[in-house]
């Protein structure tokens, strides 16, 4: 049973008391160790394409940003990186891109996923676990990708508040269509992850309480949330005077509250959290995160995958050191799936 209830979260999120933050992190760490142990599981992040048909007001990959070079990694390049990840003991990768729901991209991915599965299971091993983070697609497209071997899907809702959602997206993009996608993913059998940005212009602690309630209601398996970081070539960067939340501390509190409310889910210490504070990774883990996503995108493409300003790249050696210093252990050679998903399946949901 959760050791906290939703009614208590607003006061905690609104508080500036460092002692309260300390107590909260201590409690969430205890819950995490009990429910998920001390291991940190790895998802090697392959940002295979930065083409995006969407125009989210906050993101550097938005189609109207003409100041980046668009790229698409070849099948061979991606397979080489996946094999490297497998050899290194990551045992899971996350294939991420901008949203590009054209049939050719889905065909490409179906073939690619089958091939990665084949090459990594050749010797009787479990193969690479594959997470996808490629945005909104149709039910049949999600189904094809699942059948090819992808078994986890991350689709952030960015905020659960309809009005705030519509203030940070153009009219064609709606929260209801994200919700339909999440329902489709769950129905197909994916481990489903979602998440929000924290510290958006106009966002209040009540919105964040609504987000926690949304995660509970959706019975999610995975959570990826982190601070909003303005990107200079985006419309939202001109709205910074409407930011009222300290994105770093509030992100830590949100992670800790999510861990207390949902002890058995998988939760990411996001790159954004690592990018806004030198201690971001360690503190994210201490707040309850148990997943990290080391960037495996080729170095010459990383500058063109800047969702926000000052996106940080950390080497595996440094990540390993920080995980160790924070008091956790790298979960090499394991998929580290969310037990919540198994439990959800047993409940027939
Ligand atoms: N700051 C923080 N996170 C961002 N994302 C996109 N732009 C930003 C930003 N400026 C996140 C969104 C999206 C994910 C791929 O990256 O939550 O879902
Ligand atoms: Fe595209 Fe995702 Fe960025 Fe929106 S957040 S512009 S969908 S990459």
- Point out which residues pair with 93 in neighbouring strands: 44, 130
pLDDT for 347 equals 82
* In contact, 53 and 97? CB cutoff 8 Å: no
155 CA to middle of ligand 1, Å?
11
Task: Assign 312 a pLDDT band (cuts: 50, 70, 90).
Answer: confident
56 CA to middle of ligand 2, Å?
6
228 CA to middle of ligand 1, Å?
7
Half-sphere exposure of 300 (CA within 13 A, CB side): 4
Question: What is the CA angle 169-59-75, rounded to 5?
Answer: 115
Ligand with the closest atom to the CA of 195: 1
Ligand 1 site, residue 272, Cβ cutoff 6 A: yes
281 CA to middle of ligand 2, Å?
23
Task: Assign 2 a pLDDT band (cuts: 50, 70, 90).
Answer: low
* In contact, 99 and 48? CB cutoff 8 Å: no
Mean pLDDT of 75-96: 95
**The dihedral sign for the CA sequence 306, 92, 25, 316:** negative
Ligand 1 site, residue 99, Cβ cutoff 6 A: no
| pLDDT of 304 higher than 60 | yes
Own/partner long-range contacts of 74-80 (Cβ < 8 Å, ≥24 apart): 75/108, 75/111, 75/112, 75/115, 77/298, 78/46, 78/48, 78/112, 78/116, 79/112, 79/115, 79/116, 79/119
pLDDT for 309 equals 87
pLDDT for 166 equals 98
Mean pLDDT across the chain: 95
Q: Tell me the per-residue pLDDT of 104-131, one tens digit each, with 9 for 90 and over.
A: 999 999 999 999 999 999 878 789 999 9
pLDDT for 124 equals 80
| pLDDT of 47 higher than 90 | yes
> In angstroms, rounded to a whole number, what is the distance separating the alpha carbons of residues 227 and 77?
31
> In angstroms, rounded to a whole number, what is the distance separating the alpha carbons of residues 118 and 115?
5
> In angstroms, rounded to a whole number, what is the distance separating the alpha carbons of residues 54 and 171?
11
- Burial class from Cβ neighbours inside 10 Å (0-12, 13-18, 19+) for residue 171 reads exposed
304 CA to middle of ligand 2, Å?
13
Ligand 2 site, residue 40, Cβ cutoff 6 A: no
| pLDDT of 237 higher than 60 | yes
Phi/psi at 244 (nearest 5 deg)? -115, -5
Q: Quote the tokens at residue 131.
A: 């997470």
Nearest CA to ligand 1 atom 16: 307
Looking at the chain, the whole-number percentage of residues with pLDDT higher than 70 is 99
**The dihedral sign for the CA sequence 153, 154, 160, 166:** negative
Ligand 2 site, residue 59, Cβ cutoff 6 A: yes
* In contact, 334 and 39? CB cutoff 8 Å: yes
Task: Assign 229 a pLDDT band (cuts: 50, 70, 90).
Answer: very high
Angle between helices 103-121 and 75-87 (to 10 degrees): 30
Nearest CA to ligand 1 atom 7: 59
Nearest CA to ligand 2 atom 2: 98
Q: Which helix (H) or strand (E) holds 48?
A: strand 44-49
Q: Tell me the per-residue pLDDT of 259-274, one tens digit each, with 9 for 90 and over.
A: 999 999 999 999 999 9
> In angstroms, rounded to a whole number, what is the distance separating the alpha carbons of residues 101 and 84?
28
Pairing of strands 129-133, 329-330: unpaired
Task: Assign 251 a pLDDT band (cuts: 50, 70, 90).
Answer: very high
> In angstroms, rounded to a whole number, what is the distance separating the alpha carbons of residues 317 and 325?
12
Ligand 1 site, residue 58, Cβ cutoff 6 A: yes
Q: Is 229 left (phi over 0), alpha (psi -120 to 50) or beta?
A: beta
């Amino acid at each position: 049973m959760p050791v906290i209830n939703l009614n208590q979260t607003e006061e905690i999120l609104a508080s500036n008391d460092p002692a309260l933050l300390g107590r909260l992190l201590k409690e969430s760490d205890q819950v995490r160790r009990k429910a998920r142990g001390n291991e940190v599981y790895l998802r090697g992040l392959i940002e295979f394409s930065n083409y995006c048909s969407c125009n989210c007001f906050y993101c550097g990959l938005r189609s109207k940003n003409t100041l980046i070079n668009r790229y698409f990694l070849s099948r061979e390049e991606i397979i080489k990186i996946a094999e490297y990840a497998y050899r290194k003991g990551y045992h899971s990768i996350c294939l991420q891109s901008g949203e590009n729901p054209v049939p050719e991209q889905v065909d490409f991915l179906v073939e690619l996923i089958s091939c990665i599965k084949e090459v990594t299971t050749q010797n009787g091993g479990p193969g690479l676990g594959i997470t996808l983070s490629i945005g909104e697609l149709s039910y049949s497209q999600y189904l094809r990708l699942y059948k090819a071997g992808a078994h986890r899907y991350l689709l952030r809702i960015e905020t659960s508040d309809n009005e705030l959602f519509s203030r940070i997206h153009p009219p064609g993009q709606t929260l209801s269509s994200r919700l339909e996608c999440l329902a489709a993913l769950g129905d197909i059998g994916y481990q489903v992850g979602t998440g929000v940005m924290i510290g958006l212009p106009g966002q209040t602690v009540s919105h964040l309480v609504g987000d926690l309630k949304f995660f509970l209601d959706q019975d999610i398996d995975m959570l990826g949330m982190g601070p909003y970081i303005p990107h200079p070539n985006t419309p939202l960067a001109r709205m910074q005077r409407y930011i009222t939340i300290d994105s770093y501390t509030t992100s830590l509190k949100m992670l800790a509250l999510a861990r207390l409310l949902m002890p058995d889910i998988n939760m990411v210490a996001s790159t954004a959290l690592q990018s806004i504070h030198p201690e971001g990774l360690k503190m994210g883990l201490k707040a309850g995160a148990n997943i990290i996503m080391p960037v495996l995108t080729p170095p010459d493409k990383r500058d063109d995958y800047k969702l926000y300003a000052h996106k940080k790249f950390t080497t595996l050696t440094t990540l390993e050191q920080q995980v160790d210093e924070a008091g956790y252990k790298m979960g090499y050679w394991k998929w580290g799936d969310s037990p919540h998903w198994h439990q959800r399946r047993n409940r027939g949901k």
